[in-house]
Amino acid sequence: MKQGNTIVIDPVTRIEGHSKITLHLNEDGRVEEARFHVTQFRGFEKFCEGRPFYEMPSLMARICGICPVSHLIASAKACDSLLAVRIPPTADKLRRIFGLAQVLQSHALSLFYLSSPDLLLGMDADPAKSNLFGVAEKNPELARDGIRLRQFGQQIIERLGGKRIHPAWIVPGGVSEPLTATNRDAILDALPEALSIVERTLEWFKSTMENFREEIASFGNFPTMFMGIVKQDNGLTFYDGKLRIVDASGKVVADALDPTRYSDYIGEKVEPWSYMKSAYYKPLGFPDGVYRVGPLARLNVADRCGTPLADQELAEFHELQRTAVLSSFHYHHARLIEMLYCVERMERLLNDAEILSLHVRAVAEPNALEGVGACEAPRGTLFHHYKIDDQGLIRWVNLVIATGHNNLAMNRSILQVAKHFVRGHHLTPGMLNRVEAVIRAYDPCLSCATHALGQMALHIQLLSPGGEVLDQVARG
């Protein structure tokens, strides 16, 4: 809808959570400012205060229905730190498998359910058909593959955690139950099919890239830094390691940072127009310290994946650009390479000689009053930071979520897309969809970012210099 010189898109569709977008026009009718407003709020950080620390993993998993496992992992790691224990090696490996299964199903949701309509049917497709049903009509194999891959990831989570959503299997000190041989074999039996699906989807995706030259050039294609956790050998990881930051040229600007000291180098700014905080790299200040996290960032900061097929694809990915790969459109490509890595890595872990060990939990009382847990969630780096009192009750919580890290970059991306595609004072479905599509590339989870619950919907507004709403579109 257009009101004055402002375009409003409300709600944004095919993302996780509630948001709206406002586009502000100048006197010439050109877009000069864009804002991504996250309009939901839940406040997990406050209502956890006073709860026993050992409840935190289960409570934190409720933040999100898509990536509860990442919150479980980060929370349990923060609690491991409060206990001051080193968890048994098998528990470490099982947590990694659990996390990889979740990344696989979450990436499948993002790519197949939310973004494949744009990629298969085009950005200008009839909005009524830009959904999974439209995909099913045009390319049923692609839709079936998406469903199968989601099932595959969810079934692993269910086999390990007892249920698909909000499993409570990961606990402070390790995991609550060992892996059985039956479940290991069942997962291993399904891996070849999952691998085939990812490989053919990757080939299909690469074949479509030629159709999106304009989008690749304008979808968040600008210099920023990139941040992610890497292994000690600088390889890709989702579970544990050191933080690494590279700049737009691909040069390492900070390396071997201790994730538990995140607050030394990451600041968070609150804007009055959104419930989502904006993270920035402290040494460069706000907003110059803009950086991106998630699949694109992880592949920009990692030297290698560490598995053969993913490494082959990573080498090809790095050929897209001599510097860091900058266009946020390539988040999709990075997501697919990570799915390949997940399948390969799970196979290796499941074949580990110790994976069926019964020693999966370290038991202790709290030995520290402050703990930080960090991991790579599907959408990027996740920090859980807790302080407790002598009774083990939570006194303070801070959560830094992937989507919050990307907030500044998402706002800039929307502005870039809007400047490129919005013409005059009238909105077309294709323009609206491109503004949404650039957000989808980041796969934001606003339920996580605001620690709030909700469906994703979009609201775009076009505002005049005087603040009058010229046009707006609401969907959801």
Partner 1 sequence: MPRVLIIAYGNPLRCDDGIGWLVAGELRSRLASPGVSVLQLHQLLPEVAEAVSRVDSAIFVDASRDGEPGEVRCARVTTPSTKASFSHQLSPAEVVGLAQELYGTSPQAFSVSLVGQSFEHGEGLSRSVTARLPHLAARVEGLTKQILSGGPVSLPEVEV
**CA-closest candidate to residue 208, choices 329, 295, 51:** 329
Of 89, 106, 102, nearest to 349 by C-alpha is 89
Among the listed residues 92, 122, 151, 231, the single contact to partner 1 using CB under 8 A = 151
Nearer to partner 1, 131 or 321 (CB): 131
Per CB under 8 A, 139 contacts partner 1: no
Among 147, 168, 195, 309, binds partner 1 (CB under 8 A): 147
Residue 133 Ramachandran class (φ > 0 left, ψ -120 to 50 alpha, else beta): alpha
The verdict on 242 binding partner 1 (CB under 8 A) reads: no
Q: Is 190 in the site for partner 1 (CB under 8 A)?
A: no
Contact with partner 1 (CB under 8 A) among 42, 138, 148, 420: 148
Q: Return the range that interacts with partner 1 (CB under 8 A); candidates 126-134, 207-215, 220-228, 309-317.
A: 126-134
Residue 120 is a binding residue for partner 1 (CB under 8 A): no
Q: Which stretch binds partner 1 (CB under 8 A): 124-132, 237-245, 260-268, 354-362?
A: 124-132
Residue nearer to partner 1 on the CB measure, 15 or 400: 15
136 binds partner 1 per the rule CB under 8 A: yes
Q: How many CB atoms are closer than 10 A to CB 318?
A: 16
Per CB under 8 A, the list member of 51, 89, 122, 132 interacting with partner 1 is 132
Binding status of residue 270 toward partner 1 by CB under 8 A = no
First-to-final CA distance of the chain:
14
131 binds partner 1 (CB under 8 A): yes
- Could you give the residue ranges of the DSSP H alpha helices within 18-115? 44-47, 56-61, 68-83, 89-108
Question: Does the footprint of partner 1 cover residue 168 (CB under 8 A)?
Answer: no
**Options 127-135, 210-218, 226-234, 241-249: segment touching partner 1 (CB under 8 A):** 127-135
Q: What is the residue-wise DSSP string for 422-459?
A: --TT---HHHHHHHHHHHHHH--BHHHHTT-----BEE
CB of 151 to partner 1, least distance (A): 5
Strand 278-281, strand 266-269: pairing: antiparallel
Q: Would you state the structure tokens that stand for residue 237, as one six-digit string?
A: 């990881």
Report yes or no: 230 and 236 within 8 Å, Cβ to Cβ.
Answer: yes
Does 137 bind partner 1 (CB under 8 A)? Our answer is: yes
Assess 143 for contact with partner 1 (CB under 8 A): yes
Nearer to partner 1, 147 or 309 (CB): 147
Please report how the helices 308-318 and 181-208 are oriented relative to each other, as an axis angle in degrees rounded to 10. Answer: 20
Single residue of 150, 244, 333, 384 touching partner 1 by CB under 8 A: 150
Inter-residue contact 468 to 460 (CB < 8 Å): no
**Contacting partner 1 within 43-82 (CB under 8 A):** 65
Binding pattern for the stretch 429-468 against partner 1, x by CB under 8 A and - elsewhere = --------------------------x-------------
Q: Which is nearer to partner 1, 93 or 440 (CB)?
A: 440
Alpha helices in 287-428 (DSSP H): 295-301, 308-318, 331-350, 402-405, 407-421
What does the alpha-carbon distance between residue 204 and residue 97 come to, in Å, rounded to a whole number? 27
Nearer to partner 1, 176 or 455 (CB): 455
Considering the rule CB under 8 A, would residue 154 count as an interface residue with partner 1?
yes
User: Considering the rule CB under 8 A, would residue 140 count as an interface residue with partner 1?
Assistant: yes
Q: Tell me the closest approach of the beta carbon of residue 133 to partner 1, in angstroms.
A: 4
Which residue shows structure tokens 């290698």? 304
Burial of 168 (0-12, 13-18, 19+ CB in 10 A): middle
CA R_g for the chain: 22
Cα 446 to Cα 369: distance, rounded to the nearest angstrom = 30
Residues that bind partner 1 (CB under 8 A): 13, 65, 113-114, 127-128, 131-134, 136-137, 140, 143-144, 146-148, 150-151, 154, 165, 455
